[in-house]
Amino acid sequence: MLSLQKLVILIGITALGWLVGSLLNYLADILPAEPRRWSAVCPQCQTARRWSDYFLFKRCGTCGAKRSLRTWITQIGSIAAVLVLWIYPPDRFGFWMILPCMLYFSLVAVIDIEHHLILHVVSMAGAVIVIPIGLIWNGLVSTLIGGVAGAVIMFLLYYLGELFRRWISRARHEEVVEEALGFGDVTLSAVLGLLLGWPKITFAIITAILLAGLASSLYLLTMLARKKYLPFTAIPYGPFLLIGAVVLIYLA
Ligand SMILES: [Zn+2]
């Protein structure tokens, strides 16, 4: 049986999840926009949205545009994720310590999946959030080496991908525009290195490469089965790096 006290806590945590979802949706709307402004606008009629529109999950008051699929997935996913995190926080960290870190992870994943973009402003905020956690977890030396290693390893992969792209472009006599890895992946990997420390960052990168490889193979097979062959459709790497980091936060 649920005691009254537990029920109140459960309602409070659900409300927190709702708040987190609204904040994520707001940030995922304003941060990738050019020029960047504090007020978000309706993508259809450009009317400014109020904060209460996010919190109450309202349609656009001017043109009636519905909320996008992403806003629904983010909102419901945030409630589920915050509840899971509350019930099963990682052994090493408490709920309140790891929550800002998970918020940062979610923001990166949402923007990367939607726009194939990892913003530098998000990476900088992420560094501020994760450095204290990394220092407590791994100490100064491992944190610093982890950050540098994350950046260097991912930069080399990025550079290899760029060479490969140029080689393919030359061989096919047409420009292959889509990059396999973006420079944002390098900054994300640096931030994760600061969090996970050396040598754990290498595990996150290897996990990301394997999972991304698996995902692209599945994607290619599906496309082949449907007789739609689209080579060089870049898949966002960021979420796979984050999966590796979450596994380490729980298990390492
Ligand atoms: Zn509108």
DSSP string covering 63-84 = T-PPPPHHHHHHHHHHHHHHHH
**57 CA → ligand 1 middle, Å:** 14
Lowest mean pLDDT of 142-156, 158-172, 204-218, 222-236, name the range: 222-236
Domain count, the chain: 2
3-state helix, strand, coil in the chain (%, to 5): 70, 0, 30
Q: What is the pLDDT of residue 233?
A: 61
Specify whether the CB–CB gap between 28 and 111 falls below 8 A: yes
Alpha carbon distance 168, 198 (integer Å): 34
Q: CB under 8 Å to 22, separation ≥6 — which residues? A: 54, 55, 57, 75
Query: Once rounded to an integer, what is the mean pLDDT over residues 81-85?
Result: 95
Q: What is the pLDDT of residue 85?
A: 94
**38 CA → ligand 1 middle, Å:** 17
pLDDT confidence bin for 38, thresholds 50/70/90: confident
Q: CB under 8 Å to 136, separation ≥6 — which residues? A: none
**22 CA → ligand 1 middle, Å:** 18
Query: Once rounded to an integer, what is the mean pLDDT over residues 207-230?
Result: 82
**Per the domain annotation, does 93 fall within a domain?**
no
Q: Are residues 63 and 134 in the same domain?
A: no
**112 CA → ligand 1 middle, Å:** 24
Lowest mean pLDDT of 11-20, 115-124, 167-176, 186-195, name the range: 167-176
pLDDT over 70 at 206, yes or no = yes
**Per the domain annotation, does 175 fall within a domain?**
yes
Lowest mean pLDDT of 80-84, 103-107, 224-228, 239-243, name the range: 224-228
Q: Which domain holds residue 58?
A: 1-88
pLDDT confidence bin for 83, thresholds 50/70/90: very high
**240 CA → ligand 1 middle, Å:** 34
For the chain, give the number of residues: 252
* Higher pLDDT pick, 41 / 132: 132
- How does 45-73 read in b/e, with b if 16+ C-beta sit within 10 Å? eeeebeeebbeeeeebeeeeeebeebbee
Specify whether the CB–CB gap between 180 and 164 falls below 8 A: yes
Phi/psi for 41 (5° steps) reads -125, 155
* Higher pLDDT pick, 153 / 179: 153
Query: Once rounded to an integer, what is the mean pLDDT over residues 155-173?
Result: 84
**Per the domain annotation, does 167 fall within a domain?**
yes
DSSP assignment letter at 93: S
Query: Once rounded to an integer, what is the mean pLDDT over residues 145-162?
Result: 92
Q: Are residues 69 and 171 in the same domain?
A: no
**40 CA → ligand 1 middle, Å:** 11
**Per the domain annotation, does 111 fall within a domain?**
no
Q: Are residues 131 and 240 in the same domain?
A: yes
**Per the domain annotation, does 107 fall within a domain?**
no
pTM of the predicted protein model: 0.88
Specify whether the CB–CB gap between 237 and 185 falls below 8 A: yes
Specify whether the CB–CB gap between 107 and 24 falls below 8 A: yes
**Per the domain annotation, does 71 fall within a domain?**
yes
**68 CA → ligand 1 middle, Å:** 12
Q: What is the pLDDT of residue 87?
A: 92
206: helix, strand or coil: helix
Q: Are residues 168 and 219 in the same domain?
A: yes
